[in-house]
């Protein structure tokens, strides 16, 4: 029987990064993945394919709506080859997952393909084409999550679908009804809207992306409405049914009036739930909470001392980079180090266009904790860079402590905010004040100048260009 210092179950960004860091630190490491490709949700049916389709559909939208204003005429008709778009996405996924094979090989990590389940606290059964058992001194559970649904919905995965199917459709929907105005609903809703579908987003709360700053919800909804996406806020879905190629969704609005939606596809994206099926946690007594997440302490250790858990399967934001940080942290703990993750500094990004990005506290959170703060907000439309590219939607908002001027949160909507937020993460990691950022030179003309201007606003209401 093969014996390892560490076995990692699940090869998503949490699992494969944990395995690499363990190997870097000299541990004999195995990784177990039930699917034939490595990379988990993120690489196969999450972050990477969704961004590939967002980029492809963005090119199409530019060609259809924006080339002309730049003085570019297309002599013929611009057409979508949807099959090719989906094939390109598949090839991006393939290249990326093959990259993980390379990394496992380079770091001398043994890869086992099959379902991993605990035999006892130090032995894991692997059921694949063949069955085998390995011994591991420590195990890291990184089994991720699966799409959540509503109790009355039957996902037929043809017309009543999750994000997984939405990333591999065979045709462009005529009318896609999206249940859930969160990250997936908006990213994939935007993809299909750009490709010509009518898209109706039904959201239970009174705003989209309800965990982000209220100003971001408003600004993104305004921009997406201009793109033709329809929003139905404060709507409670009560029934989803299918007859032949037609899907009907019944919902109740805030005045208790029933609203009926009919379309050809219904995308259900109301969150994701931790995935532990098949692990046989009960055999080793690893505890899970009422939401099915594996219970862990601050060191990501379960109630069984040599078993750890990371990523979507534990509490916290379901984000690839959060899972990665946790993977590194557990590996370093196993090596006797004392790493720490500041969860407040894990950025959140929505890859629509305009992009939405946040780090730290929102205004609502600061109000709730009765923290006195100052706010500086700068509109993208006031930037020369934005006017040059035509990306004038959005703003940068910086919140800083009223007394110390330390930056407490940054929230932005606009072109390339997914990348811009990194500056604010660095600033907050080093506990910068708004004044610090306001006094740094930001290249001109860039979108990043909005950060400098918002910081000038936050520190002493002295933005220069508004």
The residues with which 9 forms a beta bridge, in sequence order, are: 32, 141
Distance of CA 372 to the CA centre of its chain: 30
Nearest residue to 382 via CA among 334, 447, 331? 447
Both tokens of 183, joined, read 């990250």
The reply on whether position 350 binds ligand NAD by CB under 6 A is yes
Site for ligand FAD in 8-27 (CB under 6 A): 9-15
The reply on whether position 205 binds ligand NAD by CB under 6 A is yes
Q: Are 168 and 86 in contact (CB under 8 A)?
A: yes
Q: Which position among 7, 47, 455, 456 is part of the footprint of ligand FAD (CB under 6 A)?
A: 47
The reply on whether position 145 binds ligand FAD by CB under 6 A is yes
How many residues sit in the footprint of ligand FAD (CB under 6 A)?
Answer: 37
The reply on whether position 349 binds ligand NAD by CB under 6 A is yes
Q: Which is nearer to ligand NAD, 252 or 371 (CB)?
A: 252
Contacts of the segment 18-21: beta carbons below 8 A, 24+ positions apart: 18/140, 18/142, 18/310, 18/326, 18/327, 18/328, 18/330, 18/331, 19/104, 19/107, 19/109, 19/327, 20/103, 20/107, 20/109, 21/327, 21/328, 21/331, 21/332
Contact window for ligand FAD (CB under 6 A) among 136-144, 195-203, 352-360, 388-396: 136-144
Q: What angle do CA 341, 277, 267 make, to 5 degrees?
A: 80
181: partner contacted, choices ligand FAD, ligand NAD, none (Cβ within 5-8 A by kind) = ligand NAD
Q: Are 136 and 122 in contact (CB under 8 A)?
A: yes
15: partner contacted, choices ligand NAD, ligand FAD, none (Cβ within 5-8 A by kind) = ligand FAD
The reply on whether position 417 binds ligand FAD by CB under 6 A is no
CB of 414 vs ligand FAD, minimal distance in Å: 17
Q: Distances in Å between the alpha carbon of 364 and those of 107, 342, 368, 372, 433?
A: 45, 20, 6, 12, 20
Q: Are 408 and 376 in contact (CB under 8 A)?
A: no
Q: Which is nearer to ligand FAD, 327 or 376 (CB)?
A: 327
The reply on whether position 155 binds ligand NAD by CB under 6 A is no
Q: Which position among 144, 173, 182, 354 is part of the footprint of ligand FAD (CB under 6 A)?
A: 144
CB of 280 vs ligand NAD, minimal distance in Å: 26
The reply on whether position 376 binds ligand NAD by CB under 6 A is no
The reply on whether position 13 binds ligand NAD by CB under 6 A is no
The reply on whether position 351 binds ligand NAD by CB under 6 A is yes
Nearest residue to 142 via CA among 6, 265, 28? 6
Site for ligand NAD in 73-112 (CB under 6 A): none
Q: Which is nearer to ligand NAD, 351 or 373 (CB)?
A: 351
The reply on whether position 210 binds ligand NAD by CB under 6 A is yes
Q: Give the whole-angstrom CA distance, residue 72 versus residue 337.
A: 57
| Ramachandran area for residue 300 (φ above 0: left; ψ -120 to 50: alpha; else beta) | left
CB of 195 vs ligand NAD, minimal distance in Å: 18
Asked if 321 is an active-site residue, the reply is no
Q: Which position among 35, 60, 82, 204 is part of the footprint of ligand NAD (CB under 6 A)?
A: 204
CB of 443 vs ligand NAD, minimal distance in Å: 26
Nearest residue to 412 via CA among 403, 422, 404, 402? 422
203: partner contacted, choices ligand FAD, ligand NAD, none (Cβ within 5-8 A by kind) = ligand NAD
Q: Which position among 13, 14, 49, 180 is part of the footprint of ligand NAD (CB under 6 A)?
A: 180
How many residues sit in the footprint of ligand NAD (CB under 6 A)?
Answer: 25
> How crowded is residue 214: how many other Cβ atoms within 10 Å of its Cβ?
15
Q: Give the whole-angstrom CA distance, residue 375 versus residue 138.
A: 47
The reply on whether position 34 binds ligand FAD by CB under 6 A is yes
Q: Give 366's Cβ-side CA count (13 Å radius).
A: 21
The reply on whether position 184 binds ligand FAD by CB under 6 A is yes
Q: Which of 123, 235, 411, 444 is catalytic?
A: 444
Interaction pattern, residues 427-446, with ligand FAD; x per rule: CB under 6 A = --------------------
CB of 228 vs ligand NAD, minimal distance in Å: 20
Q: Give the whole-angstrom CA distance, residue 306 versus residue 146.
A: 25
278: partner contacted, choices ligand FAD, ligand NAD, none (Cβ within 5-8 A by kind) = ligand FAD
Q: Which residues contact 106 (CB under 8 A, 6 or more apart)?
A: none
Q: Which position among 6, 86, 307, 319 is part of the footprint of ligand NAD (CB under 6 A)?
A: 319
Q: Are 421 and 359 in contact (CB under 8 A)?
A: yes
Active site residues: 444
- Which residues contact ligand FAD (rule: CB under 6 A)? 9-15, 32-35, 40-42, 46-47, 50, 115-116, 142-145, 163, 184, 275, 278-279, 311-313, 318-321, 323, 351
């Amino acid at each position: 029987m093969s014996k390892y210092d560490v076995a990692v179950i699940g090869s998503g960004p949490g699992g494969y990064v944990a395995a690499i860091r363990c190997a870097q630190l000299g541990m004999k490491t195995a990784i177990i993945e039930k699917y034939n490709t490595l990379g988990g949700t993120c690489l196969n049916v999450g972050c990477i394919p969704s961004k590939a389709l967002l980029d492809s559909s963005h090119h199409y939208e530019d060609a259809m709506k924006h080339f002309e204003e730049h003085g570019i005429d297309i002599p013929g008709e611009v057409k979508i080859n949807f099959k090719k778009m989906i094939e390109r996405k598949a090839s991006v996924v393939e290249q990326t997952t093959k990259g993980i094979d390379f990394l496992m090989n380079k770091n001398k990590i043994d890869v086992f393909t099959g379902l991993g389940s605990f035999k006892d606290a130090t032995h894991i059964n692997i059921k694949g084409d063949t069955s085998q058992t390995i011994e591991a001194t420590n195990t890291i559970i990184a089994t991720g999550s699966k799409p959540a649904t509503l109790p009355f919905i039957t996902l037929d995965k043809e017309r009543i679908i999750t994000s997984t199917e939405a990333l591999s459709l065979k045709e462009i929907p005529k009318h896609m009804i999206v249940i859930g105005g969160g990250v997936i609903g908006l990213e994939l809703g935007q993809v299909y809207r750009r490709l010509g579908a009518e898209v109706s987003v039904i959201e239970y709360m009174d705003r989209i992306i309800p965990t982000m700053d209220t100003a971001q919800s408003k600004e993104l909804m305004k921009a997406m409405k201009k793109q033709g996406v329809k929003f139905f806020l404060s709507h409670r879905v009560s029934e989803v049914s299918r007859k032949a190629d037609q899907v009907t969704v019944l919902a109740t609005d805030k005045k208790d009036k029933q609203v009926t939606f009919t379309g050809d596809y219904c995308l259900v994206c109301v969150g994701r739930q931790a995935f532990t099926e098949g692990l046989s946690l009960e055999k080793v007594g690893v505890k899970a909470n009422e939401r099915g997440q594996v219970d862990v302490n601050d060191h990501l250790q379960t109630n069984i001392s040599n078993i750890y858990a990371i990523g979507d399967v534990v509490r916290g934001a379901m984000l690839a980079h959060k899972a990665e940080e946790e993977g590194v942290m557990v590996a370093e703990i196993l090596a006797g180090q004392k790493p720490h993750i500041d969860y407040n500094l894990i950025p959140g990004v929505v890859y629509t266009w305009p992009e939405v990005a946040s780090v730290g506290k929102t205004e609502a959170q600061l109000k709730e904790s009765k923290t006195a703060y100052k706010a500086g907000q700068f509109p993208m439309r006031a930037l020369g860079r934005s006017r040059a590219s035509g990306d004038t939607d959005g703003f940068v908002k910086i919140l800083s402590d009223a007394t110390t001027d330390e930056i407490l949160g940054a929230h932005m909507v606009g072109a390339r905010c997914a990348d811009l937020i990194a500056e604010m993460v660095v600033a907050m990691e080093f506990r910068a004040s708004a004044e610090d950022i306001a006094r740094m030179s930001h290249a001109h003309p860039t979108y990043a100048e909005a950060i400098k201007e918002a910081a000038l606003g936050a520190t002493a209401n002295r933005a220069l260009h508004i």
